[in-house]
Structure 1
């Protein structure tokens, strides 16, 4: 499997990254451990998690369980921790179940890093990410009413400096390797980069935002910023929470699926989304492709892609995904996908 630098000065990672947010709820420990082993055996060298995981639902009672499951795999497989790049995240105000929604600060980062290291049973986190900006975000369908006018620029700049100084200390201590963002904007990412350059502090190497055939906000300002500044996108939900597998078409709701647990898939279900999925499914069918595998392969064509973060709630799902990771789309298929996007922009 191809590897490249996630971002400027960042580790070499594979085109695909194993997401783990279902480990501990939809995915039990034994299945999760098999998934880690299968992913590594398939050549993937990148695993992403968060202190807030598992999801479906996120809760204070289960927060950290996913990291603990990964830590149990590390302990049961001594010597293999060096085979993969490990990424995790500190929560914040966007995830109220963790520390009662306390904003990200020096204190919460220091506390969260130590807790993550213990649960992960490792002495080093390769990529440490902010799960959500303190000032808020337009992500997760908040773009329809997002209003940044209440933000304090002075508070944001002070927060960024405090975080970067703390990250710098953790890098020096050998506890983390690199710094990344999640659910960020172009303006926010630019300010993190400027602050790091001005102060000689750790530079953002990646940004983990939602990106798929159905969610392409990144294509505008963030695409240009990330290409020019060499910040890799870690695309989460590249299958749009299962919509781009086709399993929900025709009103189907499989038992145990994310829609069965979370009916509107975090706001992704809309009257317009079904026609969009049908359009992409039609392209796949016309070219003898699997919709899931086509959707993931399309993400590889994007010029700003650092790694494509997929998850599977079962080993069976993972096997299906792994079987298609070498797929390369023809120019004809990509052109038809572009036409479908113009016909069905922003379906949720």
Structure 2
């Protein structure tokens, strides 16, 4: 497993990170997380809302057997985790309470990277940033990041942090893959200028880019698209035009001696500013397949061919970036990155 610096920070993360909560049972989740450790993954991403807080408990149970200094534990705050009026959002009260609860569930003394899971327009940004800064100064959080913020929101946070001498954002966690690329318009250029590293979630487009779905055929039994809840992005991706182009990508990958999974993950890792690709898995074999993408390089000819094949079906509209609480409709068990494939 290769490692990269997260932006211009000193933190190194594994090129493939493990995240989410998509196993059917807690026992299966433990098995998959252990497989990620055994496969050489050192960066683990979760959130307090995943699995109704159980995802953090499972990760803590796995990592208690691992040397603490050898892993990077990342979690998030924002989504509702209780019935109270202050059980969600980015207020000082909720951030502090959520951070301490995450520390207990994860069985750690500090969180390596703490993300604001979404932007909260109902709380002054200064209040949010001061709360994060206090956690850093207390040694309970080492680095701070955001997830699915717009370029303007990130720029405002950087400006306020510089004005007040607060700890700066060093990481951004966007949905990013071959099919979903709104962040390329504004977010990635800003982050590159400011030294903010990317932890890309859904790098396999919830399994679409693994080649498991064939044009003109029903979703295979047991797949996410065959389940009772079909994510709106995956459902749209099941159009025959999209699946036909993904099949063509599979042929390109085979010609290069790669699997579709390796090609899709290598493409994400080739993008400027991306430090890691966060993969999910419903079984250990999927984790083992994903880690083989670390270190894979794609030459210019292959990258050009990828763009030719996939270009017409790529979503690039920056207005599609979900950033407001009303857009955060996944407080359900599993969370949004529960389907990072």
Q: TM-score, normalised by structure 2?
A: 0.84
Rate the CA distance shift 1:159–1:122 in 2: closer, same or farther, 3 A.
Answer: same
Q: Distance in 2 between matches of 1:262 and 1:194?
A: 44
Check conservation: 1:214, 1:276, Cα contact below 8 A. Answer: no
* Residue 107 (structure 2) aligned to one of 91, 99, 121: 121
Check conservation: 1:15, 1:300, Cα contact below 8 A. Answer: yes
Q: Distance in 2 between matches of 1:312 and 1:197?
A: 39
1:257 aligns with 2:223: yes
Rate the CA distance shift 1:191–1:208 in 2: closer, same or farther, 3 A.
Answer: same
For these two proteins, the number of residue pairs brought into alignment is 312
Matches within 5 A, 1:28-67: 28-54=25-51, 63-67=52-56
Check conservation: 1:10, 1:205, Cα contact below 8 A. Answer: no
1:321 aligns with 2:321: no
Report the 3-state secondary structure (helix = DSSP H, G, I; strand = E; otherwise coil) of the residue aligned with 2:174.
strand
Q: Distance in 1 between matches of 2:230 and 2:99?
A: 33
CA deviation after TM superposition for structure 1 residue 65, in Å? 0.5
CA deviation after TM superposition for structure 1 residue 252, in Å? 3.6
Matches within 5 A, 1:177-188: 177-188=142-153
Gaps of 5+ in 2: 321-341
* Residue 219 (structure 1) aligned to one of 184, 202, 208: 184
4+ residue segments displaced more than 6 Å = none
1:224-276 deviation line (CA, Å, top 9, x unaligned): 11111110111000000000111122434233322233553233322353234
Check conservation: 2:192, 2:272, Cα contact below 8 A. Answer: yes
Check conservation: 1:68, 1:119, Cα contact below 8 A. Answer: yes
Rate the CA distance shift 1:84–1:96 in 2: closer, same or farther, 3 A.
Answer: closer
Matches within 5 A, 1:147-226: 159-226=124-191
CA deviation after TM superposition for structure 1 residue 89, in Å? 0.3
Report the 3-state secondary structure (helix = DSSP H, G, I; strand = E; otherwise coil) of the residue aligned with 2:234.
coil
Q: Distance in 1 between matches of 2:292 and 2:275?
A: 21
1:95-147 deviation line (CA, Å, top 9, x unaligned): 68876773321111111111111111111111110111123xxxxxxxxxxxx
Q: Distance in 1 between matches of 2:192 and 2:228?
A: 35
Matches within 5 A, 1:19-34: 19-22=19-22, 26-34=23-31
1:71 aligns with 2:60: yes
Rate the CA distance shift 1:41–1:107 in 2: closer, same or farther, 3 A.
Answer: same
Rate the CA distance shift 1:224–1:288 in 2: closer, same or farther, 3 A.
Answer: same
1:273 aligns with 2:230: no
1:305-338 deviation line (CA, Å, top 9, x unaligned): 0211111110121122223433222322111012
Match of 2:197 in 1: 232
- Higher relative CO (CA 8 A, sep ≥ 6), structure 1 or 2? 2
Q: TM-score, normalised by structure 1?
A: 0.82
Report the 3-state secondary structure (helix = DSSP H, G, I; strand = E; otherwise coil) of the residue aligned with 1:47.
strand
